[in-house]
Amino acid sequence: MAADETDARAFSDDHDWLDADHPREECGVFGIFGHPDAAAITALGLHALQHRGQEAAGIVSFDGARFHSERRLGLVGDHFSKKSVIDQLPGMVAIGHTRYSTTGETILRNVQPLFAELAGGGFAVCHNGNLTNGLTLRRQLIAEGAIYQATSDTEVILHLVARSKRNRFIDRFIDALAQIEGAYAFVGMTNKKLVGARDPLGIRPLVLGRLDGHPIFASETCALDIIGARFEREVEPGEVIVVHETGEIESIRPFPARRPRPCLFEYVYFARPDSVAGGRNVYEVRKNIGAILAAESPIAADVVIPVPDSGVPAAIGFAQASRIPYELGIIRNHYVGRTFIQPTQSVRELGVRLKHSANRAVVSGKSIVLVDDSIVRGTTSRKIVSMMREAGARAVHFRIASPPIKHPDFYGIDMPDEAKLLAAQMGLEEMRAYLGVESLAFISIDGLYRALGEPGRDNAAPQFTDHYFTGDYPTPIADLVGEGAKQLSLLAEAS
């Protein structure tokens, strides 16, 4: 096994055992055009998007003559805070990516942005999301003679652009988009253009901003805020935006309009609380979720305690609505990082205590309401409940700020299959007993929609992508049938 593969496996293992009970991050993309400090600005943007992917990061820049690429395993700050690295990325155009692998192993050749020399010149691209026919297309392209360097589904787009018979680059890019299915937010660059594209349903987010007049693409508005950029608008579902060499922005809508269905988990967990998504402040939405959860599943208790950090806004909303005091009964250690690269089994068993510790003064002798954003496997939740008991909690009531997760995701969220999803295997009472709590309740799907300002879920035409709760997948999933399913299984085993 190559050295980069060994390091990546160790890094991945480290995070798996520390945070196995939440959906794993997606990815973050960023791009800027025409700025003299393009690479440094991109690095700052990726810092703000670090929560979306913590396994690897990369930046590609263009200096007017040559493309430059730096791709590293690990956190953005581990590498791209260094002047020596930024100095290797000259130019006034740059794109960047922070990654959590949803398709393909965490090895250096999969780290984005990916780059290729095509007939018309260099093309670099990065991707947030997952192509649900990516493996099917990969199999077809390899049969036709394509040579793959990576196992990431993003490489498909490079091959499709390269093989297109269209003349102009943007037409070749759109031709490639027409052949893919699933969820995507692409940011790409050539020697003359910066381009952003969002899938027709708007499942994955992408926004357009400006810094001193220079166009920027980013996964979330928080990446604009960190650099003092102005939010202009969201890239619309199905829209392709091209920033030309002159700085002119062209909006292209190459596909028939469809009813948008952005991902609900952006509001529940993925987006940073200070971001704005779909015109909604994420922090306020999460507080609304907590308030509705309190109304749907009231409980008499002494104190409301969030499971940090993702459960904090919902816990505040729950406490305010129920008029139960809010306290920090769990303290999170933000500096665990890569302390133990390959921990022993005994250390693994103590993993939750490395990340969370009980605030005994708040918990002891109290009836508490624990509020978390979601339950996936239930393993970490069970350990946190046990920790509360050991700290002296008299009773533990668990409230979850999302409906039960019963179905896997294929659009860019790393979520286990149904056999490993607690809610897919157990009923509510079984889950309550397994977790060891006095009561357990999840917000309803209609309650979650109301928290976003909707009257409820329109079952005939859902307003959001919510398949992990409902089983209603919004696109075909070619990779789950026939040969594609076999390849998906083999890739999972290899990863």
> Which of the residues are catalytic?
27
Question: Pairing mode, if any, of strands 182-189 and 114-118?
Answer: unpaired
Mean pLDDT of 310-337: 91
Q: Which residues, other chains included, contact 258 with Cβ-Cβ below 8 Å and sequence gap of 6+?
A: 200, 201, 237, 238
pLDDT top residue among 17 and 306: 306
Report which residue type is found at 152.
Answer: S
Rg of the chain on CA atoms, in Å: 23
How many CB atoms neighbour CB 173 within 10 A?
27
Residue 252: count other Cβ atoms within 10 Å of its Cβ. Answer: 16
- Segment 271-274 long-range contacts (CB within 8 Å, at least 24 positions apart): 271/205, 271/220, 271/222, 272/48, 272/51, 272/220, 272/222, 273/312, 273/313, 274/222, 274/225
CB 263 within 8 A of CB 271: no
Which strands, in side-by-side order, build the sheet including 240-243? 114-118, 121-131, 182-189, 194-198, 240-243, 249-252
pTM of the model: 0.89
Categorize the per-residue pLDDT at 440 as very low, low, confident or very high, splitting at 50, 70 and 90. very high
Query: What distance in Å separates the CA atoms of residue 296 and residue 10, rounded to the nearest whole number?
Result: 43
- Rounded (10°) angle between helices 282-296 and 312-322: 50
10 pLDDT higher than 70: no
Q: What's the pLDDT at 109?
A: 83
List the single range of 72-86, 145-159, 190-204 with lowest mean pLDDT: 145-159
Residue 347, pLDDT score: 56
Cite the DSSP H helix spans in 146-281. 155-163, 169-177, 222-226, 265
Q: Report d(CA 350, CA 333) in Å as an integer.
A: 13
Residue 487, pLDDT above cutoff 50: no
Walk me through the domains of the chain, giving residue ranges and CATH numbers. 8-12+25-261 (3.60.20.10), 286-453+462-470 (3.40.50.2020)
